[in-house]
Amino acid sequence: MGYTSNNINALLCFAALRRTNSGAWMPTSLHPMPLPFSWADQERHLVGHLSALIRLDTSNPPGNEITVARHLSRELSRSGIAHKVLESEPGRANLIARLPGTGQEPPLMLLGHADVVGAQPGGWSRPPFSGEVADGRVWGRGALDMKGQVAASLLVMQLLAAHRIPLRRDVLLVVTADEEAGSRLGAYWLWENHRSLVEAEFAFNEGGGQRFMTPGGPVYTVQVAEKGSARMRVTARGPGGHASVPRSESAVFTLAEALLRLRAFAPESVLSPTARRMLSTLAELHPGAGAEAIERLTQEPTWARAHSLPIDPVLREFVVAGMHNTATPTVLSAGHRQNVVPVEASVVLDGRLLPGELPDGWAERVQKAVGDRVEVSLLHGRVSTGVHDDPELLRVLGDTLAAHEPGARVLPYINPAATDARAFPDTKVVGFFPSASDADIMRLIHAPDEHARITDLMFGGKCLLDAVLRLSA
Ligand SMILES: [Zn+2]
C-alpha cells in the first residue's frame, strides 16, 4: 500500500480531531493528510465489527467465547497481527494479540470481555442477537457491555498495524471469557496461567467514559479503582409450628426487624484521597449551592449529606458509593409449606467494600447494625483493587478528552461494581471508553433493547486511539 513514516504524523493529526460545538468532527490543525484514510471508512469497519460480534451469542452461561475469539483471530490475521487463542475449558476462549514496540516502556493493554449476560425474551423491539444497524445505532446484547469497546480496540490495533506506527511499548489486545460470571475462566485464569503474556503497565478497560453535563462543563468518568465485595447471609431462627396458630415471635418477624434496622443504618463515611479529589473536581464544576454543599460534605462527611448533594443523581450515586461500604439485601429465603411456620429465615446481603476495607471487618459492623437476634455470616469476600490514579496517566486522558470535546474534564472514580480489573493486581487498569451521549444511555446495560449509538462508538474509538498514541507512539 506504500505507506511511509510520514503517515505517523498524519494519523496523529487525525487522532487529534475534535468535536466542535455543532457536533461535527473537524481537524484541530490544517496539516496535510496524505493517507488513503477516512473516518467514514473507519466508521464502516467499526460498525461492521460490532454488528458481527453481537451476532455471535456469547451469553454466559454457557459463554462459548470461542466464537468471538475465532472471529477476532481472522480479523487479526488479515491485518498481520500476532495473536494467540487460549482455552481455559473447551469453548471458553481468551485471545491475546500483541503489536511489538521497542520495549523502552512496559506494555499497554486494551482489555475487554467477550461474554455477555443473557437476554430475556421480553421487552426487545429487535432480536437481541441481530446486530441490526438502524437509526444510527447498533442493536443487541453486548453493544454497550462491552462488544462496542472490543470492536473499537480491534480497530485501534488494525490502524496501528496498517499505518506501521512505531511504538515505544508493546500494545496488547486482551479479550477474555467469563467476566460476567466472576472472571474465573478468563482474566483470573490468564493471570494465573499465562502471566508473562498479559503483563502491562496500563490497561484501558470498561467501567469509565460516562459523560455528564454539569454547570461547569462536560465531565467523563474514569474508573481508577473498583470496590471489593462481601457476600453475607443474615439468618434468623425462631419457634416453628402450625400456621393456624398466630405467634408474635417467629424467624420471619425477627428477620424483618433486622432488615428494618439495616435500612436505617448509616454507615460511616470515608474520605479517601480518590473521593476527596472527586469532590473537589465536582465542586469546581458546580459553582454556588452545589459547591457549598460539597464543601460541607468534605468538612463533615456523613451518609445523609452525601445522599442530599444537589448534583446529577447518577453522579451522586457515584459519590455515595465512593465514600461508603454497603450491604444490599437481595435473596430472601424462608418456609417450604404454606401452613408451616418456618424455624429459619435468611437474606443474602450483597456487600461492596472501599479500598482498604476487609470483608470480615465489614461483616462484623453489619452484625452490630442488624442486632444480635440474627446471625451474620460471611459467604465470600474479596478486597478492592488497588487505586490507579496515576497523575501522569490521568493528565494524558484529560488532554485526550479536551482535544475531542473542548472543556471536557476527567472525573476519576471508584466503580462500585466489578470488572476484569480485579484479576490484574499489578496493572494500572482504568475504565476508559468515552461515550459522547449523556450517561443515561448506560441504563441499557444488561437491560432489554441494549444498543450503542454510532456517534458514541466513533467518539470512544477516536479517544481510545488518541490515548494509545499519546502513551505509546
Ligand atoms: Zn462488562
Question: Distance from the CA of 207 to the center of ligand 1, in angstroms?
Answer: 8
Question: Distance from the CA of 236 to the center of ligand 1, in angstroms?
Answer: 35
For residue 386, the model assigns a pLDDT of 87
In a shared domain, residues 280 and 413: no
**128: phi > 0 → left, psi -120 to 50 → alpha, else beta; which?**
alpha
Between residues 217 and 16, the one the model is more confident about: 217
Torsion angle of the four alpha carbons 364, 366, 367, 372, in this order, in degrees rounded to the nearest 10? 150
Residue 32's pLDDT band (boundaries 50, 70, 90)?
very low
Question: Distance from the CA of 146 to the center of ligand 1, in angstroms?
Answer: 5
- The sheet with strand 326-334 has its strands ordered as 326-334, 344-353, 228-237, 375-382
Question: Distance from the CA of 237 to the center of ligand 1, in angstroms?
Answer: 38
In a shared domain, residues 259 and 340: yes
In-domain check, residue 415: yes
- C-alpha cell of 79? 491485518
DSSP-assigned letter for residue 364: H
- For the cut 50, the answer to whether the pLDDT of residue 127 exceeds it is yes
CA gap 50, 53 in Å, rounded: 5
CA gap 397, 404 in Å, rounded: 11
In a shared domain, residues 101 and 206: yes
Question: Distance from the CA of 147 to the center of ligand 1, in angstroms?
Answer: 9
Question: Distance from the CA of 206 to the center of ligand 1, in angstroms?
Answer: 6
Q: What phi and psi values does residue 244 have, to the nearest 5 degrees?
A: -70, -15
**8 Å CB contact between 133 and 179:** no
- For the cut 90, the answer to whether the pLDDT of residue 266 exceeds it is yes
Question: Distance from the CA of 100 to the center of ligand 1, in angstroms?
Answer: 27
Question: Distance from the CA of 444 to the center of ligand 1, in angstroms?
Answer: 12
In a shared domain, residues 46 and 165: yes
Task: Identify the domain containing residue 270 by its residue range.
Answer: 226-382
CA gap 214, 289 in Å, rounded: 13
Question: Distance from the CA of 404 to the center of ligand 1, in angstroms?
Answer: 25
Tell me, what amino acid is at 431?
Answer: G
What percent of the chain shows pLDDT beyond 70? Answer: 92
In-domain check, residue 220: no
Residue with cell 500476532: 82
Beta strands in 178-290 (DSSP E): 202-205, 211-214, 217-226, 228-237, 241-242
In a shared domain, residues 244 and 175: no
In a shared domain, residues 256 and 352: yes
Question: Distance from the CA of 65 to the center of ligand 1, in angstroms?
Answer: 14
Count of structural domains within the chain: 2
Question: Distance from the CA of 177 to the center of ligand 1, in angstroms?
Answer: 11
Which of 382, 416, 436 is the last residue in one of the domains? 382
Question: Distance from the CA of 446 to the center of ligand 1, in angstroms?
Answer: 9
Question: Distance from the CA of 48 to the center of ligand 1, in angstroms?
Answer: 20
CA gap 425, 177 in Å, rounded: 18
Question: Distance from the CA of 435 to the center of ligand 1, in angstroms?
Answer: 15
- For the cut 50, the answer to whether the pLDDT of residue 119 exceeds it is yes
Question: Distance from the CA of 341 to the center of ligand 1, in angstroms?
Answer: 42
Residue 435's pLDDT band (boundaries 50, 70, 90)?
very high
In a shared domain, residues 344 and 245: yes
- C-alpha cell of 139? 442493536
Question: Distance from the CA of 431 to the center of ligand 1, in angstroms?
Answer: 11
Question: Distance from the CA of 103 to the center of ligand 1, in angstroms?
Answer: 30
Question: Distance from the CA of 94 to the center of ligand 1, in angstroms?
Answer: 15
**8 Å CB contact between 408 and 222:** no
In-domain check, residue 393: yes
Question: Distance from the CA of 149 to the center of ligand 1, in angstroms?
Answer: 10
In a shared domain, residues 374 and 435: no
Question: Distance from the CA of 1 to the center of ligand 1, in angstroms?
Answer: 37
**8 Å CB contact between 107 and 201:** yes
- The DSSP element (H or E) to which 452 belongs, if any, is strand 451-453
Mean pLDDT, the chain, whole residue set: 91
CA gap 74, 122 in Å, rounded: 34
CA gap 206, 190 in Å, rounded: 18
Question: Distance from the CA of 113 to the center of ligand 1, in angstroms?
Answer: 7
Question: Distance from the CA of 180 to the center of ligand 1, in angstroms?
Answer: 7
Residue 122's pLDDT band (boundaries 50, 70, 90)?
confident
CA gap 160, 464 in Å, rounded: 12
> End-to-end distance of the chain based on CA atoms, in angstroms?
21
In a shared domain, residues 231 and 273: yes
- C-alpha cell of 36? 488513503
Q: Which residues contact 31 (CB under 8 A, 6 or more apart)?
A: 9, 10, 13
For residue 11, the model assigns a pLDDT of 52
In a shared domain, residues 182 and 292: no
Question: Distance from the CA of 260 to the center of ligand 1, in angstroms?
Answer: 33
- For the cut 70, the answer to whether the pLDDT of residue 64 exceeds it is yes
In-domain check, residue 217: no
- C-alpha cell of 268? 460511616
Average pLDDT over residues 348-358: 96
Question: Distance from the CA of 116 to the center of ligand 1, in angstroms?
Answer: 7
For residue 273, the model assigns a pLDDT of 92
For residue 4, the model assigns a pLDDT of 30
Query: Half-sphere exposure of 393 toward its Cβ, with a 13 Å CA cutoff?
Result: 21
CA gap 315, 333 in Å, rounded: 34
Which of 353, 382, 411 is the last residue in one of the domains? 382
Question: Distance from the CA of 418 to the center of ligand 1, in angstroms?
Answer: 9
Question: Distance from the CA of 413 to the center of ligand 1, in angstroms?
Answer: 17
Question: Distance from the CA of 256 to the center of ligand 1, in angstroms?
Answer: 34
Question: Distance from the CA of 331 to the center of ligand 1, in angstroms?
Answer: 23
Between the CA of residue 270 and those of 87, 95, 226, 274, what are the distances in Å?
A: 41, 39, 15, 10
Average pLDDT over residues 76-87: 98
In-domain check, residue 68: yes
Question: Distance from the CA of 327 to the center of ligand 1, in angstroms?
Answer: 22
Least confident among 51-60, 180-189, 245-254: 245-254
**CATH number (domain holding residue 363):** 3.30.70.360
In a shared domain, residues 422 and 457: yes
CA gap 284, 292 in Å, rounded: 10
DSSP-assigned letter for residue 116: B
**8 Å CB contact between 436 and 456:** yes
**CATH number (domain holding residue 90):** 3.40.630.10
- The DSSP element (H or E) to which 397 belongs, if any, is helix 391-404
In-domain check, residue 218: no
In-domain check, residue 221: no
In-domain check, residue 219: no
Question: Distance from the CA of 453 to the center of ligand 1, in angstroms?
Answer: 17
Question: Distance from the CA of 439 to the center of ligand 1, in angstroms?
Answer: 16
- For the cut 80, the answer to whether the pLDDT of residue 400 exceeds it is yes
**391: phi > 0 → left, psi -120 to 50 → alpha, else beta; which?**
alpha
- C-alpha cell of 15? 487522532
Between the CA of residue 394 and those of 100, 181, 200, 464, what are the distances in Å?
A: 24, 30, 17, 14
- The DSSP element (H or E) to which 257 belongs, if any, is helix 251-264
Helix, strand, coil shares of the chain as percentages rounded to 5? 40, 25, 35
- For the cut 60, the answer to whether the pLDDT of residue 152 exceeds it is yes
Number of Cβ atoms within 10 Å of the Cβ of 284: 16
CA gap 211, 436 in Å, rounded: 7
463 three-class SS: helix
- For the cut 60, the answer to whether the pLDDT of residue 192 exceeds it is yes
- For the cut 80, the answer to whether the pLDDT of residue 335 exceeds it is yes
Which of 336, 352, 382 is the last residue in one of the domains? 382
Question: Distance from the CA of 74 to the center of ligand 1, in angstroms?
Answer: 23
Question: Distance from the CA of 145 to the center of ligand 1, in angstroms?
Answer: 4
In a shared domain, residues 373 and 434: no
